Copies of this chain bind each other. A is one copy, B any other.
Amino acid sequence: MSEPVNTKKITIALDAMGGDFAPKNEIEGAILAYKEKPAGSDFEIIFVGDENKINPELAGKVTYGLKYTIVHTSEVITMSDDPVAALKSKRGSSLYVAAEIHAKGQADAFVSAGNTGAMLSISTTLLGRIKGVTRPTIGTFMPTVNDTPVFLLDVGATVDMKARFLYEFAEMGNIYAKQFIGIENPRIGLLNIGEEPTKGTDVLKETYTLLQKADLNFIGNIEGRDILMGAADVVVCDGFTGNVVLKFAESFTGILKSKVKNYAYKNMINKLRVALMAPTLRSILSDFDYQNYGGVPLLGVNGVVIIGHGKSSPKAVKNMIIRSQEFIKNDVNSKIEKALEPKNVT
Listed in ascending order, the chain A residues whose CB lies under 8 Å from chain B are 143-145, 157, 159-160, 191, 193-194, 200-201, 223-229, 237, 239-241, 243-252, 254-256, 258-260, 263, 270, 273-274, 276-277, 279-281, 283-284, 287
Contact = CB atoms under 8 A, between A and B. Distances in A.
25 contacts: A145-B259, A160-B201, A193-B240, A200-B240, A201-B240, A223-B244, A223-B247, A224-B248, A224-B251, A225-B247, A225-B248, A227-B251, A228-B254, A229-B251, A240-B241, A241-B241, A241-B244, A244-B245, A245-B248, A248-B248, A248-B249, A260-B280, A263-B283, A273-B277, A274-B280
A126 to B, nearest CB: 23
Given A244-B193, A251-B227, A284 B270 contact: no
Given A200-B240, A225-B251, A243-B193, A259 B277 contact: no
Contact of A224 (B239, B244, B273): B244
B159 A201 contact: yes
Most chain B beta-carbon contacts within 10 A, residue among A144, A244, A273: A244
Contacts of A258: 145
A12 to B, nearest CB: 30
Nearest to A157: B193
Contact of A255 (B143, B246, B259, B279): B143
Contacts of A229: 251, 254-255
B227 A159 contact: no
Contacts of A157: 193-194
A16 to B, nearest CB: 26
Contacts of A251: 224-229
A14 B206 CA distance: 40
A97 B274 CA distance: 50
Contact of A200 (B159, B223, B277): B159
B228 A193 contact: no
Given A193-B159, A228-B255, A251-B224, A263 B244 contact: no
B252 A228 contact: yes
Contacts of A283: 263
A333 to B, nearest CB: 27
A255 B145 CA distance: 6
Contacts of A277: 273, 276-277, 280-281
Contacts of A144: 255
B201 A228 contact: no
A125 to B, nearest CB: 20
B243 A245 contact: no
